[in-house]
């Protein structure tokens, strides 16, 4: 089974992430506010979440929406969380 995961954007309503941390940044996309993938805690969440789907639910693969944007961040990040 391939699971479609979306880390690069959220819907325009019902978004409560700002109440819990620096998960959003200035700007908007077609889908709403931008997720702050430059922040180490947010990147850590994305990594942990992807691993959780693979480990706990035994999905065979993840289809990551916005992969090109995430790839650019990986190559330009100076400090990935450990």
> Where does the pLDDT of residue 21 fall: very low under 50, low under 70, confident under 90, or very high at 90 and above?
confident
DSSP 66: T
Distance, CA of 3 to chain centre: 14
Q: Which of 30-38's residues contact partners 24+ apart within 8 Å by CB, and which partners?
A: 33/9, 34/9, 35/7, 35/8, 35/9, 35/10, 37/7, 37/8, 37/69, 37/70, 37/73, 38/73, 38/77
Q: What is the pLDDT of residue 10?
A: 64
pLDDT digits (tens, 9 = 90+) for 37-68: 888 888 888 889 999 999 999 999 999 876 65
């Amino acid at each position: 089974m391939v699971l479609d995961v979306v880390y690069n954007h959220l819907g325009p309503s019902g978004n409560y992430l700002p109440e819990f941390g620096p998960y959003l940044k200035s700007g908007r996309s077609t889908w709403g506010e931008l997720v702050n993938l430059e922040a180490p805690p947010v990147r850590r969440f994305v990594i942990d979440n992807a691993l959780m789907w693979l480990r706990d639910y035994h999905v065979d693969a993840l289809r990551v929406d916005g992969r090109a944007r995430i790839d650019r961040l990986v190559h330009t990040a100076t400090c990935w969380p450990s």
